[in-house]
Amino acid sequence: MVCQLPEAVTNQLREEVQEYLKTRPDLGPADLAQYTTLAESTVRTWLRGTIPGGFEVIEEMRRVLDQARAGDILAPGGGEALVLTEDATKRVRKVSRLGNLYATQTVKRIGEVLDYCAEQCAIGLITADFGVGKTFAVQAWRRKNVGKVESTVFEFDEFSSTNKVDFVRVMARQFGIASQVGSQNGGLVFRDLCDYLRRNPCLLIFDQCETLRPRVCQVIRQIWDRTHDAGVGVVMLAAPILLQRLMAGKMVDLGALTSRIGIFAPLAGLTRPEMAAIVKGEGFVEVDEAAFELWNKAVAGSMRRLVRSLDLLRVKHAGKRISEKTIAGVASMLWGMSVTTTEVAS
C-alpha cells in the first residue's frame, strides 16, 4: 500500500483510535470495520502500525471515531443508553482541588452519572481502572448532596461478591433490617429488603463490581426491577473488565442487567492536559518535556499514582529540575517499573 499522507497525520489518528479503544474494552477492530468501507483485516493491521494510512483509510477511521465519540454509533447497550466519556483533547488551564481530590473530568462525569441515576431512578455503570478516583469522586458527590439526595454505598468483598444470600443479608443489615440465618431464608431477606427500599427509596451505589458473580448481578437487577418505580436508582462502579463481560452477552444473568442500564460511563482517568495543570499547580515548573511524557505514561491516568509521585518528588526534589532519570527513579521506587529513558549518561 502506498502511503499517501504524512506519517505524523497517520500516527496521530492511530493514537486517538487506540486511546478510545482503551476506554471501550467491549470494542475491537471488527466493530469499527462494520461502519467503514474497509475490511476488518485492514483496520486491524492499520491499528498495529503494520500498514501506512492512505486517504481512504484515514478518512474512514476519522469518520467512525468521531461518530463513536459522539454516541451516534457503537454505544454500549445497543445505542439506547446514554454514554459519558472524558475529552482527552480538551485544553485545561487549571484543575481545582477538592480536599485530597482534584475536580478532573473523571470526577465530574461520575457526579453526572450519580445525578442522572438519582433523578431518573435508573441504573448507571461507571468503569475505569483502579486508582483513577472513582471512590473518592463518590465521596465528594455524597458530601455535596447531604440532605438533598439519600444514598448508600455498598462495597463488595470476597464473600458478598460471590454469594447472593450473603449479599442480601449484609445489605439488609446495613439498613437495620433483621436478617434470617440460613441460606433457605435468602428469599425472605430479599423481599424484606425490597419492601424497605420501596418505603425508603434512595440511590444504591455499589463499589468493586468487577468481582461480582453473575448471580449477584442478577440480584442487583431484581432489586432495581422491584423498587425503581418507588424512586430507587442504582450506580455500579467497576474496572473495565465488567463492561467487557456485559457487552459479550454470553450469559443470561448479565444480559438481563445490561438491557436495563440507562447510562454508561467508560472512563480513562486523568488526561494529559489535566496532569500538566496539576503538576504546574503543585509547584513543579521545571519539568523536561521528555520527563513529563515518561511521567504521564507511568501514571497511566491514575490519580492515585500521580498523588503518590508528587508526594515523593516534593520531599526529594522540591525546587529542582525534574528529568527523565528522576521520573525513572520514582517509577522504580513506587511501582517497581523499569522504564527506558532517552537521556545519555555523561
Which of 324-328's residues contact partners 24+ apart within 8 Å by CB, and which partners? 324/288, 324/290, 324/291, 324/294, 326/291, 327/291, 327/294, 327/295, 327/298, 328/294
Confidence band, pLDDT 50/70/90 cuts, at residue 100: low
Q: How many residues does the chain have?
A: 346
pTM: 0.76
What is the rounded distance in angstroms from the CA atom of residue 34 to the CA atom of residue 290? 38
Domain regions of the chain by residue span: 7-74, 82-266, 282-335
What is the rounded distance in angstroms from the CA atom of residue 78 to the CA atom of residue 150? 31
Tell me if residue 338 falls in helix, strand or coil.
coil
CB 109 within 8 A of CB 267: yes
CATH of 82-266, one of 3.40.50.300, 1.10.10.10, 3.30.70.120, 3.60.15.10: 3.40.50.300
Confidence band, pLDDT 50/70/90 cuts, at residue 234: very high
* pLDDT tens readout for residues 150-162: 999 999 999 999 9
Confidence band, pLDDT 50/70/90 cuts, at residue 344: very low
Q: CA 305 → CA 103, 129, 277, distances in Å? A: 16, 12, 16
* pLDDT tens readout for residues 253-297: 688 888 889 999 999 888 889 999 999 888 888 889 999 999 998
